[in-house]
Amino acid sequence: MHDIKTREDIFYLMECFYTKAVTDDVIGYFFTEIAKINLTDHLPVITDFWEMVILGGNNYKKNAIAVHAHLHQLSAMEEKHFTRWLQLFTGTVDELFSGNNAELAKQRAVSVATVMKIKILHSSPINNSKDDNRGSTAAG
């Protein structure tokens, strides 16, 4: 096995990963029913993201957090979804590649999953209109 060295390597990784992810019992429906991704359109975009993360590319222009926050609004993501995504991603890397960039890809996948969980699952909007009626009286 060789290391991840090129955009083509990352594209191949994404093809293999998404082949598993879209049919997975735990997370597959996010891709097929919620996001309804078209892999022909999605693979170049997600390759841009991972090329940026692993090789320092600069083609990715979207906000990954915002995209996933929107999906979370459509269908709630849970800890098990992030865990499964990470298992599939790191497992696919291990099946296909070996080397420093492969290890970096797995480390960055942990970071991506962690940041997504924090931003999506553990942050709540600040509620400035608290319904705090202590000390008030009701008019009758």
What is the three-state SS of the chain? CCCCCCHHHHHHHHHHHHHHHCCCCCCHHHHHHHCCCCHHHHHHHHHHHHHHHHHCCCCCCCCHHHHHHHHHHHCCCCHHHHHHHHHHHHHHHHHHCCCHHHHHHHHHHHHHHHHHHHHHHCCCCCCCCCCCCCCCCCCC
- The dihedral through the CA atoms of 6, 8, 10, 68 has a sign that is positive
- Has residue 139 got a pLDDT over 80? no
For 64, the token pair is 């990954």
- Has residue 98 got a pLDDT over 80? yes
Question: Among 30-34, 37-41, 90-94, 100-104, which is the least confidently predicted range?
Answer: 30-34
pLDDT band at 126 (very low <50, low <70, confident <90, very high): very low
Give the model's pLDDT for residue 107. 98
Q: Taking the model in full, what pTM does it have?
A: 0.81
Domain ranges for the chain, please list them: 7-121
Cβ(55)–Cβ(86) under 8 Å?
no
- For the domain spanning 7-121, the CATH number is 1.10.490.10
